[in-house]
Amino acid sequence: MKSRNAFTLIELLVVIAIIAILVALLLPAVQQAREAARRSSCKNNLKQIGLALHNYHDTHRVFCPGDIGVPAVAPTEWCLKTSGSYTEPGAPWTVMILPYLEQTALYDQFNFSERFSLMWNRAVYHGSATNHAAGDRQLSAYECPSDPLATAQNHISNYRAVMGGGLTQDCGPSTYRFYRNGVLYVNSKTRFGDITDGSSNVFLCGESIYNSISSISASGQGMGWASSIAMRNDGRHPANMAAARDGINSWSGRPEVNDANTITSSAFSSRHKGGCHFLMADGSVHFFSENMDILTYRSLAIRDDGLPLSAW
């Protein structure tokens, strides 16, 4: 009778152990390759946004406003936070550049003479029915693939127009900060000629995950990519705009509700390890470290402070 060759139990266990070790070694490399691809896609999103903003400027001889605030009663401050004033939220920059992102059909669905939504919710919304319906969809052009909250249910944007930077905002309470020393802010009309620091030295847009962390509530309500200026009891909330005040990723791991109001208007962030992407006014996109000099970072958000920025 012939003997049959077979693995012993010990040999089988050794083979399984070797396979497990190989998988453990390969998995980080696969994950790293996937993140590199997502990071490249995110960078390309910002490049396309930059082209759209430049084409808008070529057409209108001015960059689009970061957001349009239409006062129903004349406010005493440009950011429309004073009690007694009221704002009919107009179109945000994310809607105004849609034709230049090959989204003309979607752009035509908005009614610019009607109120834009502030927050998105399946049952409750604050804008006109027309504008809410137009913006109530996912738009991958405004989503970073690395953000797990960028889904068909959330309609978020991971890119914020840069209102400006520095420790002191132009107006607004401490929780809702409005700036106007950048390129894209409320009712802005910035031209290339106004960017006297040089278009390669000034931020135009940057990444942010803070709205997606804080404002997607259990009820499904949150700021969407087509959200306009949010009116709250204690002031106006800049939607789809932020300022370079706090450092990059400085609020990571702190998605508390009380912090959410502050971080959405005063910092930038990403799901990419170590920093985030910024679109410069010249159309280039660069990755900036979360450890960069804070004064340089704030200065890059200001269009005309005249400070040297060779270090970045």
CA distance 193 to 195: 5
Distance of alpha carbon 224 from the chain centroid: 10
Contacts of 202 (CB under 8 A, 6+ apart): 182, 183, 195, 280, 281, 300, 301, 302, 303
At 312, the amino acid letter reads W
What is the rounded average pLDDT of the residues 52-60? 97
Length of the chain: 312
Q: pLDDT at position 186, please? A: 86
pLDDT score, position 18: 84
Provide CB contacts within 8 A for 188, sequence distance 6+: 63, 65, 66, 180
pLDDT tens per residue across span 88-144: 678 999 999 999 999 999 999 999 988 887 665 554 557 788 988 898 888 999 999
**Ranges 24-38, 246-260, 274-288: which has the least confidence:** 246-260
Longest CA span, the chain: 103
Which pLDDT score, from 0 to 100, does residue 43 have?
95
Does residue 307 belong to any structural domain of this protein? no
Beta carbons within 8 Å of 91's beta carbon, 6+ residues apart = 67, 68, 110, 112, 116, 228
Q: Is residue 286 part of a domain?
A: yes
Antiparallel, parallel or unpaired: β 241-244 and 159-165 = parallel
pLDDT at 27 over 80: no
Residue type, 173: P
Residue, of 23 and 118, whose pLDDT is higher: 23
Is the sign of the CA dihedral 272, 275, 279, 283 positive or negative?
negative
The reported pLDDT for the residue numbered 17 is 85
| pLDDT score of 189 | 94
Q: Within a domain: residue 211?
A: yes
Identify the DSSP state of 20.
Answer: H
Rounded to the nearest integer, the mean pLDDT of the chain is 80
Which of 69, 65, 67, 64 lies closest to 53, judged by CA? Answer: 64
* DSSP E strand stretches across the chain: 67-73, 86-92, 159-165, 203-207, 230-232, 235-237, 241-244, 275-280, 285-289
- The pLDDT value given to residue 112: 92
Tell me, yes or no, whether 84 lies in a domain. yes
According to DSSP, residue 231 is labeled E
How does residue 265 score in pLDDT terms, banded at 50, 70 and 90? confident
Nearest to 147 by CA among 258, 58, 276: 276
Share of the chain above pLDDT 70, in %: 73
Q: 32 pLDDT band (50/70/90 cuts)?
A: low
Whether 309 is covered by a domain: the verdict is no
Helices then strands (H, E): number in the chain?
7, 9
User: What was the pLDDT predicted at 42?
Assistant: 95
Does any domain span residue 312? no
**37 falls in which pLDDT band (50, 70, 90)?**
confident
Q: Which domain holds residue 71?
A: 11-300
Stretch among 128-137, 194-203, 215-224, 297-306 having the lowest mean pLDDT: 215-224
pLDDT band (50, 70, 90) for residue 29 = low
Cα radius of gyration rounded to whole Å, the chain? 23
Q: What is the pLDDT of residue 125?
A: 59
The residue among 9 and 96 whose pLDDT is bigger is: 96
For 212-252, the pLDDT digits (tens) are: 444 444 444 567 899 887 655 555 678 889 999 989 988 76
- Residue 77 within a domain: yes
Q: What mean pLDDT do residues 12-37 have?
A: 77
Quote the number of domains for the chain.
1
Spatial separation of the C-alpha atoms in residues 63 and 181, rounded to whole Å: 14
- Residue 43's Cβ-count burial label (10 Å; 0-12, 13-18, 19+) is middle
pLDDT given at position 164: 94
Provide the pLDDT for residue 33: 66
* 308: in domain: no
